[in-house]
A = this chain, B = another copy of it.
Amino acid sequence: ADGGPGANPKLGQCFTCHGRDGLAKVPDAPNLAGQNESYLVKALTDYKSGARKHEVMSMMAAPLSTADIADAAAYFSGIAIEVKAK
Give A contacts to B, CB under 8 Å.
21-24, 27-31, 33-36, 38-39, 42, 52, 79-84
Contact = CB atoms under 8 A, between A and B. Distances in A.
Oligomer copy total: 2
Contacts of A24: 36, 39
B27 A38 contact: yes
Contacts of A34: 31, 81, 83
B21 A28 contact: no
Contacts of A52: 52
B33 A83 contact: yes
Contacts of A82: 81-82, 84
Contacts of A23: 83
